[in-house]
A and B are shown apart, each in its own frame.
Chain A
Amino acid sequence: MGFSAIRTRMRDPGLVAAPSVDAATVNVLFEYVVCATVWLLVGTGIGLIASIKLHWPEFLPYSWLSFGRVRPVHTNTVLLGWSSLVLVGLSFYVVARTSRVSLWSPRLATARALALEPGPPRRPRDIAGRGEPAGPRSTANGCGRWPSSWLRPCSSTDTSRTARSAARALPEVYVSNWYILGAFCCLPILYVTSYLPWYQGGLGNTVVQGYYMHNAMGMWFTQLALGISYYGIPRLLGRPIYSYALGVLGFWTNLLFYPLIGAHHFIFSPEAWWLQTTAILFSVGMMVPVWAGTGNLLLTFKGGAGAVRRSYALPFFVTGLIGYGLVLDTGNDRGVPQRRTSTGTSRTSPWGTLARGDVRLHRVHRLGRRLRALAALDRTRAESAGGGRPLLARAGRRRDLRDRDLGGRSAPGLRVGGRSIVHRVGDRRRADVALANDRRSADGEQPRRLRRQRLGDAAAARRRHPPSRRSRSGAQRELRRAAHEPSSHRCGGRHRVLRAHARDGGAARAARAGLPGAGRHQAARTRGGARTTGLHARGLRVLSHAVRARLADGPSVWSAVAAGTTTRSRILRCSAPSARGPISPTWARGSRARPGT
């Protein structure tokens, strides 16, 4: 894949965040992702040492770097530092987006990120110092039990999350939130069970250990990753998931089968036979959730090869999904045939054990990695909508970043931000996608209904506030331009956008305030310099504010939208059915299927 392909992917239309996302949520996500990325680098570095040691045992022969110590450090750093942090941060984002609310307490979320932060560093020191993780040793995945200090922040955010979700504006729970809430509910159970002191001796220790390490995977990482996938994949593809019902089926069957299969790590051990048999049976049962989930998401991908090719983040989803599907096979290979053939080679070989844990984790990694990309771009996009802060820029830097953008000469301090925004908003077609996406998955409304509503409102508002001839003609000229001119405008897409972005400020404010004349005002302004892209920027802004206003049952700003002919036409144009069929919310199909589940 050449550089140009990567660059094409960076213009992923699906990575456009919803303009109505609030800045605090994006900030929280960003903090989590940054922290997690640091741990990812650390953890994979240590993992590299560990893997070298497997082939070259005399590599770094120091007592505090022996394999038995390095590997728990690696797994803990990667599991807790990277995966947990990034998944929690992303689930904040997903819950906030799909529930159409902002975070209950972004500060608490940040505090939690900071509370998680010292977890991994303290742990490697402990481990490297004492040579074993706290609590019973974990065999297959090599992850020790999390320090109890994790429990507190986890449960507190759990509370905040639940409260937030309960206050959700939507009448239904999107399937992402099923998974995420499930994960946060299972986490305390996992902790309490694994810390109960009554089973800590002898074989009970092993059983608890199997329960803990297995369910840390199944009830925490898997659920979070799936929940985020159920948001990310439809969002990036720009189409609804294949089946809401399959997603919910996967969730409940996962909850049913997963907790009981921890003992399949100890087949042919002195554990009770009935426990081993149960574990094997339920491992087979795991076919239901895994195939439901994989099939559901892969069928969502069906026909979307082009999108995957263009997208930066989607290939990570695809590989992650395939990994998810394959993990089942490795798991059953390990669990079931061993029972029959008493050779047990794959069990006794360290490679089998390591490989399985790693495949599974790598799935999380992959998901996480592309989610990191998603997160970073979401953030940049939020900046372009004027709601968030630019990438890596703190409060003080926002203005000069924008100013530099305005000059159109040099990219902002961190080029990722500026450039991706520019490309995305600058391109007519992509902006349309952004708008469509925003309405679909951010609002969670039936778009047809939404469109009708908008039409009705627009007609009424237009009667009330007839747009001036002047603005209409200007608007029409712009639309003509938008329709006929190639995207390489003489001003250059980039400059154009930035100008539009800047000029958009006043108009957007007016729209936010619900001023009826806002759209008209904008249309008149637009004639000057900011051309088509100004419409996009404004369309996005107006739409998001309209959505908010509608959510809050406040005064509708549809009149503002309607009064400006330009904006209205633009929105109507954008809301035309896409090539793949009518735009529908991510769970539109699901809401029909829901009564059956």
Chain B
Amino acid sequence: MIHLYDPRAVVPQSVMPGYRWFFVEKVQAGPGDVVVPVPAGRAPKGKVIVAGPDAIELVRYLLSLKQAKVSP
């Protein structure tokens, strides 16, 4: 999630673009919101980054992918 929001917060030399439009900035996280633990300084001050539905779906899809096995 953090990686999607700001790749350089996780890997400083990353050239992956951030997908910030999948996330919502809120002052206060509501019930049921998935809060992204973005490191301090990487998110707007006084705001909480909440994963939107697209982000949740995307991460679910990414996690479902598996390394293909090369069979002889």
Contact = CB atoms under 8 A, between A and B. Distances in A.
A351 to B, nearest CB: 11
Contacts of A62: 21
Interface string B45-72: 0000000000000000000000011110
A55 B71 CA distance: 37
Interface in A42-69: 53-55, 57-58, 61-63, 66-67
Contacts of A61: 17-18, 20
A54 B20 CA distance: 17
Contacts of B71: 270
Interface string B21-44: 100000000000000000000000
Contacts of B15: 54-55, 57
A66 B16 contact: no
B30 to A, nearest CB: 23
Contacts of A54: 15
A57 B16 CA distance: 6
Contacts of B20: 61
Contacts of B19: 63, 66
B27 to A, nearest CB: 22
Contacts of A57: 7-8, 14-18
Interface in A499-514: none
A67 to B, nearest CB: 6
A55 B16 CA distance: 9
Interface in A267-281: 268-270
B17 A58 contact: yes
B14 A268 contact: no
Nearest to A68: B17
Q: What size tier do the contact residues of chain A reach?
A: 10 to 19
A54 B68 CA distance: 27
A66 B7 CA distance: 14
Nearest to A58: B18
Nearest to A59: B17
A128 B39 CA distance: 31
Interface residues of B, number: 14
Nearest to A63: B21
Nearest to B71: A270
Nearest to B72: A273
A61 B4 CA distance: 13
Contacts of A268: 70
Contacts of B69: 270
B62 to A, nearest CB: 14
Nearest to A54: B15
Nearest to B14: A57
Contacts of A53: 17
B49 to A, nearest CB: 15
A270 B70 contact: yes
B43 to A, nearest CB: 14
Which of A55, A63, A269 has the most B CB atoms < 10 Å from its CB?
A63
B57 to A, nearest CB: 13
A54 B8 CA distance: 14
A320 to B, nearest CB: 31
A270 B68 contact: yes
A62 B18 CA distance: 10
Contacts of A66: 17, 19
Nearest to B8: A57
Interface string A219-244: 00000000000000000000000000
B6 to A, nearest CB: 9
Contacts of A270: 68-71
A354 to B, nearest CB: 12
B71 to A, nearest CB: 7
Contacts of A58: 17-18
A268 B15 CA distance: 25
A110 to B, nearest CB: 41
Interface in A62-99: 62-63, 66-67
A53 B16 CA distance: 9
Nearest to A350: B15
A268 B8 CA distance: 30
A474 to B, nearest CB: 75
Contacts of B21: 62-63
Which of A54, A57, A61, A270 has the most B CB atoms < 10 Å from its CB?
A57
B51 to A, nearest CB: 15
Interface in A250-309: 268-270
B39 to A, nearest CB: 16
A353 B19 CA distance: 23
Nearest to B15: A57
Which of B7, B15, B68, B71 has the most A CB atoms < 10 Å from its CB?
B15
B9 to A, nearest CB: 12
A203 to B, nearest CB: 9
A63 B17 CA distance: 10
A82 to B, nearest CB: 26
A55 B15 CA distance: 7
A337 B52 CA distance: 44
A62 to B, nearest CB: 7
Contacts of B68: 269-270
Contacts of B17: 53, 57-58, 61, 66-67
A67 B21 CA distance: 14
A269 B7 CA distance: 27
Nearest to B69: A270
The 3 closest A-B pairs by CB, nearest first: A63-B21, A57-B17, A270-B68
Interface of B: 7-8, 14-21, 68-71
9 contacts: A55-B15, A57-B7, A57-B15, A58-B17, A61-B17, A63-B21, A66-B17, A268-B70, A269-B68
